[in-house]
Amino acid sequence: MTPFELPDLEQTVGDLVLDLLRARAEYPELVLSPPQDARGEVSANAVRVTQHYTSALTAYGFSLEQQELREAADWFASPFPSDLHKRIDPVEMNRLEALLSLRPASPFVLPRLEQLIRQRTADNYFDLQAGGPAFDTLWTIKVLAQAKAAGVLNGLMEEDNLRDWATHMVEVNQRDKDLALALRLRYELKSKLLPSQQKKYVEKLVTIAEQSGGFWGLPQDMRSMGENMRRGQLTPEQIGDHREIFREMIISTCYVIENMMLLAQSYPTLETVLRRAIELWWGIFCGPNAVAILRGLFPNPYDYLLIVCRTLVSVRAYVDQPLIHWGAGYIHRKLAWQQTRPVEPPDTESIRQALKNWIRIDLDKAPEPLRLGMSESNVVRIYPYITNPMQPEDDSFRLNIPNADSLIVKYGPVEEIDLERENYAVLPTSIRDCFVNIPQPSYVDDQRRRAFVIMADLHRYRTLSDALAKVPQIHDAIAQELGGFLLRMHQGEGRGRRSASEGLLWQLYLMPMQQHIRRIFQYALDNRLLDNDANQKQAQTLQRELLDRIGSLVRFQLELENFPIACMHGDLHSRNIMVRRLKARRDTAAAAEGEIDFKLIDLEKFRRSGDAALDAGELLVDLEIIRASRNADPARDPVLNLMRAVEVAYGEFAHDREDSTFHLRLWLGQARSLIRIGKGRTKQGELSLKESRKGPAIRTAFDALDDAERALHYLDQVVHALKP
């Protein structure tokens, strides 16, 4: 084995590339996906995965003339600016990276580069709304350097400025993988001259690897995971319980290897740690079962494809030659040796289809709509009617499926349904029973890109909002038990206190609020729905004040970001909490189990590394809306009692976890929830406008502005509390 060879390299690379080539058919929603709607929009996940897919195929050795890469270039080549995209955001950056790699002469490259330059901020960073000013700027420098190498920078930035930027980004505090990218960019842009003072940053990466068992991308309190993996002591169960952290560790490690191999010849210690890292990761899955092992480690298709792509790119950098030299021979032999699969007689499939058509399946009555939430998904209750076709007129021959007299059908965009199912798959086993099981889609309408999932009907459950309105006998029990149930969910697998990663506050709170504010005021102002100039000016002032408070919070981000993470539902309101009263408990031991059984539904926004304060803030806002609509006596209002119980439970939770800024983030969560509600109203308002119903559209505008004004009150509280 040569110094830069890996065990089972030929077979492992061959199998991974074959599986990657199958991904377009297996995961059409992620690789070169068709548009989601009539406007031609595709999901952000599809753009990112497809960009990594092309990087992996290029690393393997495909030329740009290969069919897969030509089709990808066509897929990425969309006009800019457009009605949907006028700024460069993470989606447009991935698209621009892909075009610069696959088709740099495309007429759609220069307009994107010009807009990218225009997004330079007053403090000389770049704003992409991707991961904070430092990361956004580093990404920008990477893309501009890519444009320079392709000869299409077109004088948009002087090369001296580009080199100065690269030097500056090395000195900015970065995550492991970002520091590696900054070092490589500086190395390339400075004509491969790395000054001695940059040695300390290389040594920093070496030290991190030595402290983390040979890997990068691990938070301080989880560095033992890398050491356990190095010793072969990391079990599948442990990986399952920390899958998000494990994923970030592997992706970060692959990026560091990819970017630092160029510098390895200048730093022998760096070469040693890079070799150790890739050999440790490669040793986990290499061999004849590589695909099965990786799919088992990363059951989420999005994660699996990213890991495969970044692994292939890092291996290409490690062996320093196209991987096709290693994989092509194996692939040809595999095809030659492949045994002929037994083919079913053509009539067998016809018989199977005839059997399906033979059984009569229908709906006993029209579906019952159950809710209209903020997502694009719908939920209905159906009553299936299945009969024996030999006795179609005799109702006694109706076929009864146990526990299926009624069923629930959830349907919506494929990406939303898949995301919810994938989030259920990565739930810690200790809290999986807190959630309703999400099965595989039962049917996908490829033309409309909508998935339909059939689930058990929780007919013995009510939503929390419904129970508060109609089941007074369980109000006290709900107030006593809901807080404990939610805190159990937040604690997840019950591991120790772990601090939030850099940028999490921006991702959870500040970025969504900024995006929703833009949507609210575009709706109200651009459509001229405010009845006079005074209201117009008042709305503009409100918008500026909201954005000013968010800007202030960006400056206080370090003070707010040091909080312990928690499992987070992400959309916690009273319609997503299901309650069922259990039998009365008489003995003391049974009483401890509680009187109410709770289940959570809608997992599209679930995160294992989130913030409990966001959930708490959203729930309290939702309960306050219910309370205000009831106008009940405060002394006997069950909703007010529940709100107080929830506040007490979360207060104790924050105290136990030594979370000193929880109350500030709770206000942030309430502000975020109100702004999101206002944004949600604009959907109905836009529908009213399309139907030429100006009156409802105007009322919607004022209601959304009221939500925004209430949110400003919470933001003011946070800013005032943080100011010295």
Taking only the tens place, the pLDDT of each residue in 527-542 is 889 888 899 999 999 9
Measured N-to-C along each axis, helices 176-189 and 199-211 cross at an angle, to the nearest 10 degrees, of: 150
Whether residues 216 and 294 fall in one domain: yes
- Report d(CA 182, CA 354) in Å as an integer: 62
539 with 521: CB under 8 angstroms?
A: yes
- The mean pLDDT value for 620-637 works out to 86
Whether residues 387 and 239 fall in one domain: no
Whether residues 489 and 356 fall in one domain: no
Whether residues 562 and 485 fall in one domain: yes
**pLDDT at position 631, please?**
74
Q: How far is residue 43 from each of residues 33, 75, 176, 388, 713, measured CA to CA in Å?
A: 8, 13, 28, 43, 34
Tokens of 94: 């991935």
Question: Does residue 278 form part of some domain?
Answer: yes
- The mean pLDDT value for 51-75 works out to 96
Question: Does residue 590 form part of some domain?
Answer: no
**pLDDT at position 72, please?**
96
Residues 6+ apart with CB under 8 A from 304: 294, 295, 298
User: Residue 173 above 70 pLDDT?
Assistant: no
Tokens of 666: 């709770």
Whether residues 332 and 400 fall in one domain: no
Q: Which domain holds residue 449?
A: 346-456
Tokens of 651: 């207060």
Residue with more model confidence, 522 or 393: 522
Burial of 547 (0-12, 13-18, 19+ CB in 10 A): middle
Residue with more model confidence, 129 or 431: 431
User: Residue 209 above 70 pLDDT?
Assistant: yes
- The mean pLDDT value for 22-39 works out to 86
Question: Does residue 463 form part of some domain?
Answer: no
Whether residues 439 and 511 fall in one domain: no
**pLDDT at position 394, please?**
60
Closest CA to 604 of 266, 334, 259, 373: 373
- The mean pLDDT value for 642-662 works out to 94
The residue among 401, 421, 456 that closes a domain is 456
Q: The domain spanning residue 207 has which CATH number? A: 1.50.10
Say how many domains are in the chain: 3
Q: The domain spanning residue 618 has which CATH number? A: 3.90.1200
182 with 174: CB under 8 angstroms?
A: yes
Question: Does residue 594 form part of some domain?
Answer: no
112 with 88: CB under 8 angstroms?
A: yes
Share above pLDDT 70 across residues of the chain, in percent, rounded to a whole number: 90
Question: Does residue 462 form part of some domain?
Answer: no
- Report d(CA 35, CA 298) in Å as an integer: 26
Q: How confident is the model at residue 644 (pLDDT cuts 50, 70, 90)?
A: very high
Question: Does residue 23 form part of some domain?
Answer: yes
Q: The domain spanning residue 438 has which CATH number? A: 3.30.200
Question: Does residue 461 form part of some domain?
Answer: no
Model-level pTM? 0.55
Compute the C-alpha angle 72/75/80, nearest 5°: 130
658 with 497: CB under 8 angstroms?
A: yes
- Report d(CA 527, CA 514) in Å as an integer: 20
- The mean pLDDT value for 227-235 works out to 78
Whether residues 237 and 363 fall in one domain: no
The residue among 337, 364, 381 that closes a domain is 337
Whether residues 546 and 649 fall in one domain: yes
Whether residues 535 and 567 fall in one domain: yes
Number of H helices, E strands in the chain: 29, 12
Whether residues 632 and 692 fall in one domain: yes
The residue among 421, 456, 491 that closes a domain is 456
Q: How confident is the model at residue 116 (pLDDT cuts 50, 70, 90)?
A: very high
Question: Does residue 585 form part of some domain?
Answer: no
Q: How confident is the model at residue 447 (pLDDT cuts 50, 70, 90)?
A: confident
Whether residues 300 and 327 fall in one domain: yes
User: Residue 137 above 50 pLDDT?
Assistant: yes
Question: What average pLDDT does the chain have?
Answer: 86
- Report d(CA 656, CA 280) in Å as an integer: 38
Task: Name the strand (E) or helix (H) holding 379.
Answer: strand 378-382
Number of residues assigned to the chain: 724
- Report d(CA 600, CA 575) in Å as an integer: 9
The DSSP secondary-structure symbol of 107 reads: T
User: Residue 148 above 90 pLDDT?
Assistant: yes
